[in-house]
């Protein structure tokens, strides 16, 4: 069963929360981070993307960047922009998008649960990306940004969350510049905190990494490092845990994750269309964006027109958790054999567009001449994600897109009291 504990969070006073809060480090580059933090001296980006406070063209992985992060964290604490709780607590972090709100419990997940497979993952991680986050965790002796977990919904936990939300106003409540609402409650009552911890231990067999595989791996590996270096390790130390927001699976929605391709691998559009007929039934849909309504149906934008591509039955195996995925069908039937894109992670001829950008973004990039063809996919279901994780499989690259992104800076997990 899953171990999820309350912790002594470090968080901003109410009046500073909106300015401290920022998008996670991995959804922007250095220039974008510098622009986002402009005029915001309290933005957590000064800690999570601290190269923005160093000369331009500084390598984001240089030693001075991690030193700057540590210095900035210390400054935030000294100025009172961040303060530590006096006792361990759970928190509720809710997000509103398109008039729908999802409620997550912020708690400390166990390193052992990650190492032993209680926390399940569905993506591969890259060692270089892990090491970057491990360095910033080591330097600050803190887990700065939460990861996004899901778990099989439990009625009693839902009811507890609802009681807290209905009983008092949120500590933080603001709408970020992208239009998403962020609401944050602090659970001060010891009995409620104890009950949440007990319910996870009794009712939640597994939790699942939805978004943030590299941050999860980095936090768990730093915890493993620290225990190996501590001759007096007891298992109760703060480094045995890391911060995650746990959302019940019945509240989450995965968005589509679409593809745009620079060229047709030397083919004329008519020849390309002819090759597609081996695997798909094709139907022209006109000039207005067409969104696929079901699994195994794709939309394609080419030469100013949208098409529906319905995969023929021989192209997939719904009994296989990976072979039944639409991203696999597109790769096996189009990207590799026709367009000769063999490595989705490294090819410069393909780009990926999160569903939050909409189908008009695909159309724009093709119409501009930057790209030649676009494919929109039906979103993966949460049940597919959980099935893949439960069976020990790994999703292909760029399969899931979760939105809204968790804001960093609402609470931080420190490996020691300050």
Look at residue 210 and tell me if it is in a domain.
Answer: yes
Burial class (CB in 10 A: 0-12, 13-18, 19+), 225: middle
How confident is the model over 29-68, as pLDDT tens digits? 999 999 999 999 999 999 999 999 999 989 999 999 999 9
Look at residue 26 and tell me if it is in a domain.
Answer: yes
Q: How remote is the C-alpha of 380 from its chain's centroid?
A: 15
Please state, in angstroms and as integers, the Cα–Cα distance from residue 418 to each residue in 12, 161, 243, following that order. 14, 29, 17
- For the chain, the domain total comes to 2
Q: Rounded to whole angstroms, how far apart are CA atoms 274 and 282? A: 10
Burial class (CB in 10 A: 0-12, 13-18, 19+), 58: middle
For residue 151, give the nearest of 24, 244, 218, 214 by alpha carbon.
244
Q: Rounded to whole angstroms, how far apart are CA atoms 143 and 216? A: 10
Q: Rounded to whole angstroms, how far apart are CA atoms 278 and 329? A: 13
| Average pLDDT in the chain | 95
pLDDT value at residue 418: 52
Percent above pLDDT 90 for the chain: 87
Percent above pLDDT 70 for the chain: 100
pLDDT value at residue 126: 78
Question: Based on the domain organization, do 247 and 302 belong to the same domain?
Answer: no
pLDDT value at residue 123: 86
What's the CATH number where 323 sits? 3.30.1760
Look at residue 45 and tell me if it is in a domain.
Answer: yes
Q: What DSSP string runs through 132-146?
A: HHHHHHHHHTEE-S-
Question: Based on the domain organization, do 285 and 348 belong to the same domain?
Answer: yes
Question: Based on the domain organization, do 90 and 131 belong to the same domain?
Answer: yes
Question: Based on the domain organization, do 104 and 193 belong to the same domain?
Answer: yes
Residue pair 182/172 in contact by the 8 Å Cβ criterion: yes
Look at residue 185 and tell me if it is in a domain.
Answer: yes
Question: Based on the domain organization, do 320 and 410 belong to the same domain?
Answer: no
How confident is the model over 253-309, as pLDDT tens digits? 889 999 999 999 999 999 999 999 999 999 999 999 999 999 999 999 999 999 999
Question: Based on the domain organization, do 277 and 149 belong to the same domain?
Answer: no
Question: Based on the domain organization, do 243 and 274 belong to the same domain?
Answer: no
Question: Based on the domain organization, do 8 and 148 belong to the same domain?
Answer: yes
Question: Based on the domain organization, do 108 and 158 belong to the same domain?
Answer: yes
Look at residue 392 and tell me if it is in a domain.
Answer: no
A 10 A CB-CB count for 78 gives 9
Burial class (CB in 10 A: 0-12, 13-18, 19+), 370: exposed
pLDDT one digit per residue (tens) for the chain, 418 residues: 999 999 999 999 999 999 999 999 988 899 999 999 999 999 999 999 999 999 998 999 999 999 999 999 999 999 999 999 999 999 999 999 989 999 999 999 999 999 999 999 998 887 888 898 899 999 999 999 999 999 999 999 999 999 999 999 999 999 999 899 999 999 999 999 999 999 999 999 999 999 889 999 999 999 999 999 999 999 999 999 999 999 999 999 889 999 999 999 999 999 999 999 999 999 999 999 999 999 999 999 999 999 999 999 999 999 999 999 999 999 999 999 999 999 887 899 999 998 888 999 999 999 999 999 999 999 999 999 999 999 999 988 788 888 899 999 999 999 986 5
Contacts of 136 (CB under 8 A, 6+ apart): 48, 66, 69, 144
pLDDT value at residue 375: 98
Look at residue 121 and tell me if it is in a domain.
Answer: yes
Residue pair 407/25 in contact by the 8 Å Cβ criterion: no
Question: Based on the domain organization, do 48 and 182 belong to the same domain?
Answer: yes
Look at residue 390 and tell me if it is in a domain.
Answer: no
Say which DSSP state 22 is in.
B
Question: Based on the domain organization, do 329 and 191 belong to the same domain?
Answer: no
* Helix, coil or strand: residue 283: strand
Question: Based on the domain organization, do 168 and 264 belong to the same domain?
Answer: no
pLDDT value at residue 142: 96
Look at residue 385 and tell me if it is in a domain.
Answer: no
Q: Rounded to whole angstroms, how far apart are CA atoms 98 and 101? A: 8
* Domain, as residue range, for 320: 257-378
């Amino acid at each position: 069963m899953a171990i999820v504990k309350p912790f002594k969070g470090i968080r901003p006073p109410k009046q500073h929360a909106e300015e401290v809060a920022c998008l996670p480090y991995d959804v922007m580059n250095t220039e974008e981070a510098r622009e986002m933090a402009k005029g915001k001296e309290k933005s957590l980006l000064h800690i999570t993307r601290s190269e923005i406070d160093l000369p331009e063209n500084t390598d984001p992985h240089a030693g001075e960047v991690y030193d700057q992060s540590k210095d900035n964290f210390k400054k935030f604490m000294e100025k009172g922009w961040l303060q530590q709780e006096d006792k361990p607590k759970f928190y509720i972090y809710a997000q509103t998008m398109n008039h729908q709100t999802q409620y997550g419990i912020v708690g400390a997940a166990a390193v052992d649960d990650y190492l032993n497979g209680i926390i399940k993952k569905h993506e591969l991680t890259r060692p270089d990306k892990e090491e970057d986050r491990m360095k910033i965790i080591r330097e600050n002796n803190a887990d700065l940004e939460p990861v996004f977990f899901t778990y099989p919904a439990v009625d009693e936990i839902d009811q507890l969350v609802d009681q807290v939300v209905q009983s008092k106003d949120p500590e933080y409540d603001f709408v970020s510049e992208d239009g998403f609402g962020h609401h944050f409650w602090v659970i001060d009552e010891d009995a409620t905190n104890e009950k949440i911890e007990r319910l996870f231990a009794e009712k939640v067999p597994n939790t699942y990494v939805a978004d943030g595989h590299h941050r999860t791996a980095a936090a768990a590996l730093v915890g493993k490092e620290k225990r190996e270096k501590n001759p007096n390790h007891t298992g109760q130390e703060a480094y045995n845990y890391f911060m995650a927001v746990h959302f019940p699976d019945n509240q989450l929605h995965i968005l589509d994750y679409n593809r745009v391709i620079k060229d047709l691998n030397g083919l004329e559009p008519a020849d390309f269309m002819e090759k597609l007929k081996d695997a798909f039934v094709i139907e022209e849909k006109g000039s207005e964006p067409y969104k696929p309504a079901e699994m195994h149906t794709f939309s394609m934008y080419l030469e100013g027109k949208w098409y529906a591509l319905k995969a023929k039955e021989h192209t997939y195996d719904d009994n296989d958790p990976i072979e039944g995925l639409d991203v696999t069908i597109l790769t096996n039937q189009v990207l590799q054999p026709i367009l000769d894109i063999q490595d989705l992670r490294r090819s410069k001829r393909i780009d990926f567009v999160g569903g939050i950008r909409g189908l008009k973004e695909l159309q724009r990039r093709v119409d501009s001449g930057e790209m030649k063809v676009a494919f929109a996919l039906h979103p993966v279901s949460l049940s597919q994600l959980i099935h893949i994780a439960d069976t020990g499989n790994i999703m292909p690259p760029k399969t899931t897109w979760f939105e809204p992104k968790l804001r960093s800076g609402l609470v931080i997990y420190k490996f020691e009291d300050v």
